[in-house]
Amino acid sequence: MTIPLLLEEQARQAPDRVMIIYGAEEITYQSMYERAGSVAANLKAAGIREGDKIAIMMDNCLEYLYCFLGFGRIGAIMVPINPALTQEEYSYVIGHSEARALVVRAETLAQMGDVKSKIPQIEFIYVVGDSEDANTLPFDSLLQEKEIPAIVVDEQSDAALIYTSGTTGKPKGVILTHGNYLWDARAISRSNRLSNADKFLCLLPLFHVNAQVVSILTPMLIPASIVLVGGAFNPFGILHQIKEHGITTMSAVPTVYGILTRLPKACAEDVKSIRFWVSGAAPMTKAIYDEVMRVFNKPLTMGYGLSEATCASAVADHEDPIRWNSCGPALRYTTIRIVDKEGKDVPTGEVGEILISGPTVMKGYYKNPEATAEVLKDGWLKTGDLGRFDSEGYLYIVDRVKDMIIRGGMNIYSAQVEQIIAAMPQVADVAVIGVDEPTWGQEVLAVIQLNPDHNLEEKEVISYCKQRLAAYKCPRFVRFLDILPKTAIGKVRKHELAEQFNDIAIKRRK
């Protein structure tokens, strides 16, 4: 199965079923097939060939879906890029990926300047909206009717280059195949008893693989309907969409759920159609989980995954609230192991590195065989995440390997300390890191973003932690920032905090 074949089959079997609702517009499966097919046909006529990369630099819109679902028909490979990236960041991704074409909104292009002079490898620029740039072509030219070309790809063909968020160093291009995408979507669609009666809200940005798999391909397999949310983030708008369209499920990051619970007069009546929520891409805190249950009284389930394994590798069952902080068992078709530093499986309940095997694991990193060899060994993906299994095979994420703090030979999991501090009512967000310390090797630093109109002092945080954690795990230092630095999907850029505060212990000793 491939992405274009999935669309073709669903258009044949359910041509009149509404696939996408975007504002006032409704797009059926048949109409989506025709528009995505036109994009493929016109790109082929322009000279785009199998294996060519096309960068997409847009927020959520219908044109994004025409590209995502159409490129693969002629073997073109999608390179999704966050439009909020700086010139240095997007130039690196476009250059490294060797993209021949760029699809972009007019507003974004105006901010980018003369793309062809800055990135001369770009031969075609297709613009959504009005542009006076003579070097561009209107995206609508790709929608001219042409005979839809035959599908040239198979399951093993490359579908996308997903560039990692780059929390450390340059982002790496994850090569995902059509098979990677469809095996993951197939496994997700069979979890949590999804059916064509479900209606999905696609809130996450389409440049993120979570949205591509969970919010687009998964409902397509069923087939179900999708409400696509575009424009600036609007929490009131989310509740309106849920109520107006009878949304039954959606995927979002924990921050979004936290914001929704704090909206004035937010209540269960606003979301009565929801069967369950899904959270991923960042760790869920007990404080946010409890607020979601209190305000909305709807099951909130966690998932675990990473771009190198396409999207989700484990998803909890929404009818199993006892394990609120578990990511559930491994999804169908995926095998997960927990191993020690020697690569040996650890006993149940013990912490080790998570390894993943199965048809969702990436081909490798684009043009980076060294990095590929470091994480792909004997068919297993080394995730760099620490976790444990309970006696029933449910997975719990403990920390990132690189985020674990070692103080005087004792392991401290930053995520555990973050969970404790996040429960303080004054705290909006927190990141815990290790900083260099001459005697103990590392000390614990908590960097906190406060809720509006709240105050907190370092000694209060330390005292709070000492009542709830072993002494060696408690922060020695606390610093406050107006906003924690984050990636596009809400992951804290801990390396930036380390660069800013790493000498704090040494300065204190002086």
| Nearest-angstrom CA–CA distance, 385 and 351 | 10
CA torsion, points 298, 304, 305, 311, in degrees to nearest 10? -20
* Residue intervals in the chain for CATH 3.30.300.30: 404-509
190: closest CA among 12, 324, 329?
A: 329
Taking residues 260-264, report their average pLDDT.
91
Rounded CA separation 271/247 (Å): 8
Confidence of residue 322 (pLDDT cuts 50, 70, 90): low
What's the Cα-to-Cα distance from 459 to each of 71, 374, 464, rounded to whole Å? 56, 42, 8
Banded model confidence at residue 358, pLDDT cuts 50, 70, 90: very high
* Alpha carbon distance 312, 281 (integer Å): 10
Residue 243: is its pLDDT beyond 70? yes
CA separation for the pair 41, 144 (Å, rounded): 9
413-445 pLDDT, tens digit each? 888 899 899 999 999 999 999 998 877 888 999
pLDDT over 60 at 510, yes or no: no
- Looking at the chain, which residues constitute the CATH 3.40.50.980 domain(s)? 3-8+28-157
Does 404-509 carry CATH code 3.30.420.10? no
Q: Which two tokens stand for residue 23?
A: 């504002």
Stated pTM of the model? 0.86
Task: Give the H or E element holding residue 127.
Answer: strand 124-128
* Cα distance between residue 137 and residue 116, in whole Å: 13
Judge whether residue 476 has pLDDT over 80. Answer: yes
**Confidence at residue 489, expressed as pLDDT on a 0 to 100 scale:** 64
Among residues 198, 192, 217, 222, the alpha carbon closest in space to that of 206 is found at 217
Instruction: Specify the fold of 3-8+28-157.
Output: Rossmann fold (3.40.50)
User: Secondary structure of 281-302 in the HEC alphabet?
Assistant: CCCCCHHHHHHHHHHCCCCEEE
